[in-house]
Amino acid sequence: MRESAWIGIDFGTSGCRVCAIDQNSNIIAQTEQILPAAPHTYPSPKQQSHYLFEALKDLLKLIPEVVIESISIDATSGSVMLSDSQGNPLTEMLMYNDQRASMMIDKISAKAPINSAVHAPSSGLAKLIYFQLTLALPEKYYLLHQADWLAIQLGATPGMTDYNNALKSGFDVIVNDWPSWLESITPVSVLPTVVAPGTVIGKLSEATMLELGIKQSTPPLIKAGTTDSLAAFIATGANRVGEAVTSLGSSLVLKLICKKPVFDAETGIYSHKLGNRWLCGGASNTGGAVLRHFFTDAQLMSLSQKIDLKQSPPDYYPLLKPGERFPIADPNYPGRMLPRPAEDHLFLHGLLAGIASIEKTGYQYLQQLSATTLMSIRSVGGGSKNPVWTQLRQSLLQVPFESVEHTEAAYGSALLARDGLTLFQ
């Protein structure tokens, strides 16, 4: 009897990562297609399809004897394009950090509730309005998120998306529908049907199976995916109320599993739906980007060893420029990194402690507004590998730190392909 496998695909800013797992959650194969680096532009929709298929071909060569049961795709949040009713591209894909739709914000702000996730100039809704105002479009077309486009390439039904990707396009996850205020901004007919991540949205087409060399009687199912950050969260194994994940990457990102959602403009907290649970969190402008502005990775490691955690560090709020998103939402909020001590390790101590203090404040707001007690923290990102910083954070946060075996978004998408959101019931 042939072994079964479930495939997760993570299409990010630098590459397409693909992971296959077995019934016991073991990784049986994984591979990656590297995307062209800057100064080249991000691949076009058609080029993205090419990299997707190449990554899958590389993976399937490693597991020729398995039966592929289902596939799920995560991709960058807020990256959108338009297609016709058959799924053919009508536009380029405007990526998550594209700011050309910023002039659409006034139109959105006049209609959207203040706590909606659409107010950012890079939101999916802002980009949709930009397309509508600058292009001649056919009568029938769809808004696609990046994960939707890639799923269509495999055989998924056009005009479907998941509620995590749809959040920044205006979908109301509380009532589980597109809100009525959207009707005054855009024709609702262009908005996709929204389903839960892990929902079956199609199966691999015959042409896709032929191109990929898949020889099995039953085509693999295509299941609705999610955003890259949500897939990475699922990968960590956190699935109970009160469990949290801190990402110590370029920015500081906190996520806490809660029983009820929180949308709070003052603190910058928003919520994603995950099955019967809610993932409440926020992203600060502080984080690893501040540290790397002053020190190399090697310096960070060596200077950390000189820090005496018994000493009181300088009182800093580490920001490279004014403006904060969470736990204070203030575009003019000032950073504080002065005075700078003569010794670099003392300066680093203040930066690390400052970021940890912001993390503590963030979790305090999350607990308070969601009525959820923080039970444990899983740490991911480059900063999680710094033992001195970990010790500093543990002494400040005073909750158990759980170990993490998997942090890759592709692994989280593979779990989604196999289990859907059953772990979040």
Reported as a single tens digit per residue, the pLDDT across 327-372 is: 999 989 999 999 999 999 999 999 999 999 999 999 999 999 999 9
Q: What's the pLDDT score for residue 120?
A: 81
3-state secondary structure the chain: CCCEEEEEEEECCCEEEEEEECCCCCEEEEEEEECCCCCCCCCCHHHHHHHHHHHHHHHHHHCCCCEEEEEEEEECCCCEEEEECCCCECCCCECCCCCCCHHHHHHHHCCCCCCCCCCCCCCHHHHHHHHHHHCCCCCCEEEEEHHHHHHHHHCECCCEEECCCCHHHCCECCCCECCHHHHHCCCHHHCCEEECCCCEEEECCHHHHHHHCCCCCCCCEEEEEEEHHHHHHHHCCCCCCCEEEEEECCCEEEEEEECCCCCECCCCEEEEEECCEEEEEEECCCCHHHHHHHCCHHHHHHHHCCCCCCCCCCCCECCCCCCECCCCCECCCCCECCCCCCCHHHHHHHHHHHHHHHHHHHHHHHHHHHCCCCCEEEEECHHHHCHHHHHHHHHHHCCCEECCCCCCHHHHHHHHHHHCCHHHC
Is the predicted pLDDT of residue 122 greater than 90, yes or no? Answer: no
Reported as a single tens digit per residue, the pLDDT across 61-79 is: 999 999 999 999 999 999 9
Is the predicted pLDDT of residue 41 greater than 90, yes or no? Answer: no
Q: How confident is the model at residue 37 (pLDDT cuts 50, 70, 90)?
A: confident
Q: How confident is the model at residue 266 (pLDDT cuts 50, 70, 90)?
A: very high
Q: What is the pTM of this model?
A: 0.92
Q: How confident is the model at residue 102 (pLDDT cuts 50, 70, 90)?
A: confident
Q: What percent of the chain has pLDDT over 70?
A: 99
Q: What's the pLDDT score for residue 419?
A: 96
Is the predicted pLDDT of residue 38 greater than 70, yes or no? Answer: no
